[in-house]
Structure 1
């Protein structure tokens, strides 16, 4: 009962912490295995827990892809006040909210823990303090309910979420762009991935957040409750001269699919400092060219992402890794909510013979539904579903974890010369 007391701020968790309820734990393993067979005619129901960073999410999804319940507790406004995510604060807030989030998700689905077939939880990669809360609580639910446990790789979940709402055959190309990642990979199946490129330094969402803070966009009322990426995109749409600031193309001589955003970040910071110095701006005052700068840096980041993605497409085409009729690009992750980027990638896909699929924006940011769906994919394929209690208790979290096998050197050796297609009509 120690774990129960550690998390629960309410009287019960779906009646499973009442005296006598834990006697179910003494059921024999053979009986449990018989109960967990895949012979049930009804749809299996998976509960997913997401705490990799600063959002506490719980989603409940069945094997038909129906979202039965979902709750997210965002820490965005708290961390906005601190100018960035503080791991200790994030971890404490997850601990405070996780019971209520999971309980409310079950209530919204009109289900109890006994109705759930398995617990899926993000265990890598992410902030260790945040991941530990989700993993501990997920294992706790697994234990008191005698449920199988499914550890989830956060990036795999992002890569597969679109399959919940749209029919997408394996294999396909995925672009994951967020506050922590910029990554291109081939998704071979549920648990087989080939990474073609990843970021060498900053992630796109990270630089958008940092530049938005440096520009003091939160001091403009219409942007005050937006994330950095949302504020940058919205501000860019108001630009009167998006070509005023020059961002030179980066890594044009590197024939690979690697990303870098540090140069865009540093150049943006220099432009801001220069205008502040020239115009004697300090305090909460915002530079007059804020909208034009946002437009220029957004265009720079988008072109860089598109060029690397185009090279990944040409690598796939040249190597005939995906049949022509199945060539699909799936975009996911928090930055995939950026409509300007989506429009640019649609143009690239059209030119290169790929179907473009964007994960629904509401599922692009971290959420419990994507974890539950990855649990569904694994449950259906019977991959990574842990039923042994001792093995479940041994599951730990990992701060860093690569996505599948690295093909980065293979792409580099292919030496594919690539010139970005014309992004016609992008600024219309």
Structure 2
């Protein structure tokens, strides 16, 4: 099954064609990072307007690179949510128009499920498994019982981890996006600022990063008031150490409570080299699956990979209607 997939949930305009959920025949990602860098973050209106400008060109290039004819495309898949509403609507309308014009079935895919299936492109997910999903907008621990059978173990109660990285980077006067920069500078510093670790109540698998972010902001503000210098490399090392301690410890706790075969690290923050190293170093009794760097950030290949398995279980949407911007809500799974 050849699936043409569209991803436009934030600021990447992406179209890919994926065969049988595994083989990526073409993969086009047009990033807007340079456009939003001057604002220190993504501006939704600017993001959606740029999707409109470039979507047709990205479609054409993906089809050309795949060396397939339109007749050989069996299914259209598109990110249905969550994400920026304006950006999502551009992708949904483009995918729907393509499907209607060419008589193709269409399926809407949850963006978070796409991130999980990014790990299945070059590896094979074996169930049951645990997924740590970490990105600019999300921080979740999920239990994966089977294809498209996922339950929530824990989520962030406030800031997503990627959002915290960007805000701390801005506080330190660093560029956007902040995650890769802090990851790089942390290797040059030491954990000397002793920042808090928010573990919440005993055995909780939920996350909280707003207090950590506020702690960094307060230290920087107080130093500026006193005309003292902030050791940027040490602050980056301290911040990253605090984040990774919590992420890794809670993932280990989930592994202790549940009998699983694999641990999947997915989402944009899965590209963090410090996180990759710590997970592999501290969880040795489970197979660790991490997508290739090019599949960690938002991309259409992961949507095509997820759509293949979703279609097997749920089929396609009738009459080219996706039902608005509704998206799958994960049922919470309580464990002791």
Q: What is the TM-score of this pair, normalised by structure 2?
A: 0.95
Corresponding residue for residue 307 of structure 1: 249
Give the number of equivalent residue pairs.
Answer: 336
Corresponding residue for residue 74 of structure 2: 117
Corresponding residue for residue 259 of structure 1: 207
In structure 1, how many angstroms separate the alpha carbons of the residues matched to 2:138 and 2:315?
24
Are positions 1:186 and 2:143 aligned together?
Answer: yes
In structure 1, how many angstroms separate the alpha carbons of the residues matched to 2:309 and 2:254?
25
Are positions 1:230 and 2:162 aligned together?
Answer: no
Structure 1, gaps ≥5 residues long: 1-43, 219-225, 281-286, 415-428
Name the CA shift for 1:212/1:401 in 2 (closer, same or farther; >3 Å): farther
Name the CA shift for 1:309/1:108 in 2 (closer, same or farther; >3 Å): same
Structure 2, gaps ≥5 residues long: none
Name the CA shift for 1:266/1:83 in 2 (closer, same or farther; >3 Å): same
* CA-CA distance at 1:401 after TM superposition: 5.1
In structure 2, how many angstroms separate the alpha carbons of the residues matched to 1:253 and 1:191?
30
SS at structure 2 position matched to 1:346? helix
Is residue 333–residue 365 contact of structure 1 (8 Å, CA) maintained in 2?
yes
In structure 1, how many angstroms separate the alpha carbons of the residues matched to 2:187 and 2:270?
17
Q: 2:295 aligns with which of 333, 348, 363?
A: 363
Q: Residue deviations 1:274-325, cap 9 Å, x none?
A: 2222227xxxxxx5501100000000000011111111111104xxxx4xxx
Structure showing the higher strand proportion among its residues: 2
SS at structure 1 position matched to 2:248? helix
1:5-20 alignment, distance < 5 Å: none
- Structure with greater Cα Rg: 1
Moved more, 294-303 or 82-91: 82-91
Give the CA RMSD over aligned residues: 1.6
Corresponding residue for residue 195 of structure 1: 152
Q: 2:223 aligns with which of 275, 278, 283?
A: 275
SS at structure 1 position matched to 2:197? coil
In structure 2, how many angstroms separate the alpha carbons of the residues matched to 1:161 and 1:171?
17
Corresponding residue for residue 329 of structure 1: 263
In structure 2, how many angstroms separate the alpha carbons of the residues matched to 1:69 and 1:109?
5
* CA-CA distance at 1:115 after TM superposition: 2.1
In structure 1, how many angstroms separate the alpha carbons of the residues matched to 2:209 and 2:321?
39
